[in-house]
Amino acid sequence: MDIQKIKTLGQLKASGYKSKSIKDEVRENLITKIKSGDNSYEGILGFEDTVIPDLERALLSRHNILLLGLRGQAKTRIARLTTGLLDDHIPIITGSDLNDDPFNPISTSALDILAKHGDDTPISWVSAEDRYVEKLATPDVSIADLIGDVDPIKAATLKLPYSDPRVIHHGLIPRSHRSIFVLNELPDLQPRIQVALFNILQEGDMQIRGFKLRLPLDVIFIFTANPEDYTNRGSIITPLKDRIESQILTHYPTSIDIAKKITAQEALIVPEVKEKIVVPELIKTLLETIVFEARKSDLIDEKSGVSARLSISAMENLYSSIERRMLLNGEETGVARMSDLWGIIPSITGKVELVYEGEQEGPYSVALSLMTAAIRKMFLERFEHPDRSVKLGEKDPYGTLRAWFGASNEVNIPNDIDQANYAKMLEAIPGIEKVLKTRALNKEHKHLHMEFLLHGLAEMEAISKNVVNQSLKFSDPLAGMLNDLDN
């Protein structure tokens, strides 16, 4: 029988339907998913062995939850996905204020309807998506917003005293009865408002303007917060934290591979653009390495964190940089280049909090220093250090390249140069292909690897790199100095 065809309390009783608390409901559905091997949190990557097991244990324990972690660690996404553990639909008394269970009503309106209609009480069905309530905690959030207040207009209209529960306007939490209630950024909530949550979490009591109202609310509370020691905005008061049974720590991706999967999943790239553009693994890895370098940089406030949104925004900007170049040159397809990474700088400068030393350097310089660190790291993973052969007295693998640059030759690569001239310019550099042949690199993207080699040598100070009029110039710094002396 299609349960949504049930329209009255009498029909619901005849169907054999049994109501249960939301925590039991989530627990039973989670047990079913675990037994069948289904992923309860599809799309949450990198938490399979850390956060997700803790979360499942908390839900099996019927706990309220505090997700504690820095910004951009999927805390709100996790909370929203928890609706996947709810039943598809549940019955409520039609017209009730608080999603009242037909078998266990708690609001005055539901009790009145039930008393009037008996088994003919009308029943409605609420979907899982409609049983999710989310509120961002801000300093101006009031007790009336969360819990409720006396409505003087209702009292006057109904000619009722303020002590009558029928004059109460219920806040978000009572209206989340039989639902998941999420309060984001809990430390931002004023301490006096946090105090008001004590009894709701523990006993289900509410006190509004001195009028104590007993409502056995059936709610799963999920709170999110940055670690309280890390925030200057506020903190979670200890008695409230004590009443939240499970505190679960989130974290950033622990590997480049996981970070790349998250970025690929979350970046919003226009499909027709994605079909025409190739971003090689080298660039994807480099982009994520920049983010990893940012998280350990002394110039960036580690307590503020570096959100995963940085790499997502950077990837979107990277595609747009390539698309713009294609449009300028009338090209139908494009491949990412090293110079395209300059297009992600706005994504970096807008998403990092600098310490004093970083502020002195400036956001743009900090972004460039992160790119430099990432290129150096990846260069040494793929190529020999330029000084190694000199120290060991071995043949210099970069000898031909060094000699060519040492003869006052230089390469000037405009950011928006077309693909044909880009390839021609790189292939004209003596010795560059020879270096690549000794490495197991993707031959499909040899021009990218040529450019990466130049950038790597520049960051290792074997050659110099300068930005000149929207182009990158590679040269030998010593040869340039000698030319200046000759002049």
In this structure, are residues 213 and 165 in contact, taking their beta carbons and an 8 Å threshold? yes
In this structure, are residues 66 and 75 in contact, taking their beta carbons and an 8 Å threshold? no
In this prediction, residue 10 carries a pLDDT of 94
Amino acid at 54: D
Amino acid at 206: M
Residue 408: CB atoms within 10 A of its CB come to 13
In this structure, are residues 339 and 472 in contact, taking their beta carbons and an 8 Å threshold? yes
Q: 3.40.50, 3.30.1380, 3.30.70, 1.10.3470: which CATH number matches 3-141+179-186+219-249?
A: 3.40.50
Query: Nearest 5 degrees, angle CA 180-CA 184-CA 185?
Result: 155
Give residues with Cβ within 8 angstroms of 238, minimum separation 6.
none
Beta bridge partners of 220: 180
Tokens matching residue 141: 């959030």
In this prediction, residue 212 carries a pLDDT of 63
Residues listed for the chain: 487
In this structure, are residues 275 and 332 in contact, taking their beta carbons and an 8 Å threshold? no
Angle 51-60/22-36 helices, nearest 10 degrees? 130
Measured distance CA(468)–CA(413) in Å, rounded: 10
- The strand pair at 65-68 and 219-225 is best described as parallel
- The strand pair at 471-475 and 464-467 is best described as antiparallel
Residue 435: CB atoms within 10 A of its CB come to 20
Tokens matching residue 61: 């324990």
Measured distance CA(112)–CA(92) in Å, rounded: 14
Measured distance CA(206)–CA(221) in Å, rounded: 16
Q: What DSSP letter does each residue of 86-155 carry, written as one string?
A: S-SEEEEETT-SS--BTTB--SHHHHHHHHHHGGG-BEEEEESGGGEEEEE--TT--HHHHTEEE-HHHH
Task: Given CATH 1.20.200.10, say whether it is the number of domain 253-382.
Answer: no
Beta bridge partners of 90: 126
Phi and psi angles of residue 386, each rounded to the nearest 5 degrees, phi first: -60, -25
183-to-54, 133, 425 alpha-carbon distances in Å = 19, 9, 56
**Upper half-sphere CA count for residue 77 (Cβ side, 13 Å):** 19
In this structure, are residues 419 and 425 in contact, taking their beta carbons and an 8 Å threshold? no
In this prediction, residue 485 carries a pLDDT of 42
In this structure, are residues 142 and 148 in contact, taking their beta carbons and an 8 Å threshold? no
**pLDDT tens, N- to C-terminus, the chain (487 residues):** 567 789 999 999 999 999 999 999 999 999 999 999 999 999 999 999 999 999 999 999 999 999 999 989 999 999 999 999 999 999 999 988 889 999 999 888 899 899 999 999 999 999 999 999 999 998 889 888 898 877 777 767 777 766 666 777 788 998 999 999 999 999 988 888 898 888 788 776 666 665 666 778 899 999 999 885 444 556 888 889 899 999 999 999 999 999 999 999 999 999 999 999 999 999 999 999 999 999 999 999 988 889 999 999 999 999 999 999 999 999 999 999 999 999 999 999 988 999 999 999 999 999 999 999 999 999 999 899 988 766 666 788 898 998 999 898 999 999 999 999 999 999 999 989 888 887 766 567 899 999 999 999 999 999 999 887 788 999 987 755 545 444 4
Give residues with Cβ within 8 angstroms of 336, minimum separation 6.
277, 278, 279, 280, 283, 318, 322, 448
Phi and psi angles of residue 148, each rounded to the nearest 5 degrees, phi first: 140, 180
Closest CA to 473 of 405, 383, 403, 386: 405
Measured distance CA(72)–CA(456) in Å, rounded: 30
Measured distance CA(280)–CA(276) in Å, rounded: 13
Would you kindly state where each structural domain of the chain is located, as residue ranges? 3-141+179-186+219-249, 253-382, 386-487
> Sheet of 464-467: strands edge to edge?
411-414, 471-475, 464-467
Sign of torsion, CA 166 172 174 176? Answer: positive
Alpha helix (H) ranges present in 7-82?
A: 9-15, 22-36, 51-60, 75-81
DSSP 8-state code for residue 353: -
In this structure, are residues 334 and 322 in contact, taking their beta carbons and an 8 Å threshold? yes
Closest CA to 188 of 224, 160, 134, 212: 224
Residue with tokens 């934290």: 241
